[in-house]
Structure 1
Amino acid sequence: MTLPFFPPDLFDDDRQTILDIVRRVGTAAEQRFILGERTAAFERALAAQVGAADVIACGSGTTALTLVLRSMDIGPGDEVVVPAFGCAPLASSVVSVGATPVFADVHPWTMVVEPYEVAEAITARTAAIMPAHMFSVMADMPTLRDLSGHHGVRLVEDSAVAQGGVLEGVPAGRWGEAGVYSFVQVKTFGTIGEGGAVVTDDPEIARAVRMLRNHGQDGRARFVHHLVGHNSRFDEITADYQLHRLPGLAARLERRARIADYYTERFTPLAGRGIQPPPAGRDGRCFYVYSLLADRRDDLKRHLATHGVGSHVYYPAPLPAQPAFARYARPGQYWPHAELASARTLALPIYPHLTDAEVEHIADTVCAFPGEPR
């Protein structure tokens, strides 16, 4: 049995559908390949699903973050508090608008940013806080929302990995002034290419993002540029395909959650042997990735590979330790929990078309790892 971490057959069942969409878009009389009626329909459908006033589809989740910061006039002289552990766009989007990322440490188990660390990082220059949901756990958005209100700073919710998650009845992406989703292939609502979206109830943010994604044009007249914008436009083939996949998202998320429940039940007894699963439960969860914390992470990875199970190490260094962002790290500051996460995290396959037998094989292989008692 060989089970890759990144499955090559995610969209095999949709091959004919994809070909039909390409033909339909390619032969349509209007020859509109970006920002057409399909994109508008997809935006409306996604907004209705999450209960948002507006959704703006963008070229990627990364540019969506950047456009949100631009829409809030965040730039040189401003600081944005971000997690010290996570994907590069958390920092690069801030840098790209001329602002300074300020890194806050994360929780040692859930790996999401700690609200008290965010509070300590806020200064007179802080313009926004930008928490990110991590792997399978949503950040403590109620506390972070209260924190942003108390300090009078903007709240941007990086929900790139958490589309479909719900915390205290509120969908991921709906806690901040704006949220961001990513549709890159392996995400919970991944697609056949790149893509992302901004979700917001704020009409000014929506208006600005809609212009910024298309070179600052407002859609009423071409080549009239109201803002210095970007090229972050959504294509019609992807929009049509995402409309096709949207009704099945809930079932795919439920399958991921059932796999995660089984993993957690099997792995919880391993804590004394240096292997710790994420916290159990469904509230505030969205299993884009199922990641263990393992004291002997690299040995466990080799053990899994020997038995035909692929795994993956996300973020092997904290953001402030990355060469691109090290100059923004405050002298004398440390992020011990982010560093531990980088050294211990190991993600297992959790894609929804895994069979029960394959899931059991993965769990059996982890449980057979000869961990050392603590």
Structure 2
Amino acid sequence: MSGATPVPFLDLAAVHLDLRDDLDVAWKEVLAHGRFINGPEVAAFEAEFAAHCEAAHCVGVANGTDALELILAALEIGPGDEVIVPANTFVATVEAVCTVGARPRFVDVRPDTLLVDPDAVAAAITSHTAAIMAVHLYGQMADVDALGKLAAQHGVAVIEDAAQAHGARYQDRRPGGWGTAAAFSFYPGKNLGALGDGGAVVSDDAQLIDRIRQLADHGRSATDRFVHEISGRNSRLDTLQAAALRVKLARLDRMNENRAALVERYRRGLPSWCVPVAVDPAAQPVYHLAVVQVPDRPTVTSALDAAGIGWGLHYPVPCHRQPPFAEYADGPLPVVDAAAERILSLPLFPGMAPEQIDLVCEVLHDVPI
């Protein structure tokens, strides 16, 4: 162990190293034409990303949180409405619901995948329910088949929070084709990450996409740029970010395959007490994060720290226990609450050396559990 190279949790510099030449070309092309807002790269990326998602339409926006909020706003979900949200998610999912004036209804997750439990969703539906948030966490899609059937039965929307699921599949279909629309984040650490903030909405509903595009561009008329037909906002995907995303999109499937191989190496090498989240038989994850559950997290993280190994937590304080959203908690959520004490994210990024995986596993085997 002495002299071993430390393992970072995420090494974005290494991820971008072999992309540098193509990124330099993209940067120079944008500088040459100077259309930094709504340049041709934006429309090109939208078309390419829609095709990658096997969906009809895509609109780029400023970030993933805006993507969720714009979907809700375009569906005219607001005060008096309820949106069902799994408590095990990043706070942006809940922020979007609250920003449009709707009420989040928190539900529990499945103990094996830690993804939203359709049975809990069914029990939470009321006459005020307007939408179900299908959060595709850690790179795995939720049970959109069951959620879609519930939504159809009750006449509500399914909004896919796909911020961590670029390229994932469920029953061989990608996000954006199951629900009303899917929201993506291109935060730099995502499977498809920009060189800053960025986001997108993908949907087969052309009218919904047109409405979101208008809302995101100050409510501007599609036929007269000087007329603002509705009150909107400024949430556009910058040309430079679209250009970088086009470079990375061409390599996304290959990078996702690399992530899957690394996680499989983890599964073979981890000690028995270190349990990775399960994979739904109908799902094909892209492993945004390598999440495990451990019995004594402080002891485990201390050992990782001592060995120079990075780690993360996603998410140790569930949304229903966060101060701004605690008022919406209807009761205990035992699976989420128990998992919050046990979850741990291990290092994972494309290009990570297999030997780095082996080192992490070796350190974990030596932890006195």
TM-score when normalising by structure 1:
0.93
Counterparts in 2 of 1:249 and 1:8: CA distance versus 1, 3 Å:
closer
Specify the SS of the correspondent of 1:67.
Answer: helix
Instruction: State the Cα distance separating 1:125 from its structure 2 match.
Output: 0.4
In 2, distance between residues paired with 1:106 and 1:61? 22
The match for 2:64 is 61
Which position in structure 2 is the counterpart of 1:279?
278
User: Match for residue 350 of structure 2?
Assistant: 352
Please state if 1:294 is matched with 2:294.
yes
Question: 2:100: which partner in 1?
Answer: 97
The number of residues matched between the two structures is: 363
1:109 paired residue among 108, 112, 121: 112
Give the CA deviation at 1:8: 4.2
Q: Note the C-alpha offset of 1:366.
A: 2.0
The yes-or-no answer on 1:20 pairing with 2:25 is yes
Does residue 188 of the first structure (1) align with residue 191 of the second (2)?
Answer: yes
Identity %: 35
Name the CA shift for 1:263/1:281 in 2 (closer, same or farther; >3 Å). Answer: farther
For structure 2, the 5+ residue unaligned runs are none
Amino acid corresponding to residue 308 of structure 2 in structure 1: G
1:46 correspondence with 2:49: yes
Give, in whole Å, the separation in 2 of the partners of 1:71 and 1:241: 28
Aligned-partner Cα distance in 1 for 2:366–2:221: 59
Q: Quick one: which amino acid aligns to residue 318 of structure 1? A: P
Which residue identity lines up with residue 316 of structure 2 in the other structure? P
Cα separation, 2, equivalents of 1:369 and 1:164? 35
Contact 2:85/2:107 (8 A) holds in 1: yes
Is structure 2 residue 366 aligned with structure 1 residue 368?
Answer: yes
* Contact 1:138/1:286 (<8 A) preserved: no
Structure 1: unaligned runs, 5 residues or longer: none
Distance 2:280 2:111 in 1: 18
Query: 2:24 corresponds to which letter in structure 1?
Result: L
The alignment yields a C-alpha RMSD, in angstroms, of 1.5
Q: Is the 8 A contact 1:314 1:347 kept in 2?
A: yes
Instruction: Indicate the larger mover: 361-370 or 69-78.
Output: 361-370
Runs of 4+ displaced beyond 6 Å: none
Q: Matched residues in 2 for 1:52 and 1:290: separation?
A: 28
Q: Please name the residue that 1:239 is paired with.
A: 242
Q: Distance in 2 between matches of 1:67 and 1:281?
A: 30
- SS state of the match for residue 116, structure 1? helix
* CA deviation map 1:168-209 (0-9, x unaligned): 111133211101111111111112111111010112211111
Partner of 1:261: 264
- Quote how far apart the aligned CAs of 1:36 are: 2.1
What's the secondary structure of 2:137's corresponding residue? coil
Choose 333-342 or 68-77, whichever is displaced more: 333-342
Q: CA deviation at 1:280?
A: 5.1
Q: Contact 1:5/1:311 (CA < 8 Å) preserved in 2?
A: yes
Paired residues of 1:66 and 1:94 also in contact (CA < 8 A): yes
- Matched residue type, 1:15: R
Whether the 8 Å CA contact 1:264–1:280 is kept in 2: the answer is no
Match of 1:127 among 108, 126, 130: 130
Separation in structure 1 between the aligned mates of residue 315 and residue 291 of structure 2, nearest angstrom: 12
Name the counterpart of 2:82: 79
Q: Find the counterpart in structure 1 of residue 40 from structure 2.
A: 37
Counterpart Cα distance in 1 of 2:109 and 2:137: 10
Residue type of the alignment partner of 1:303: A
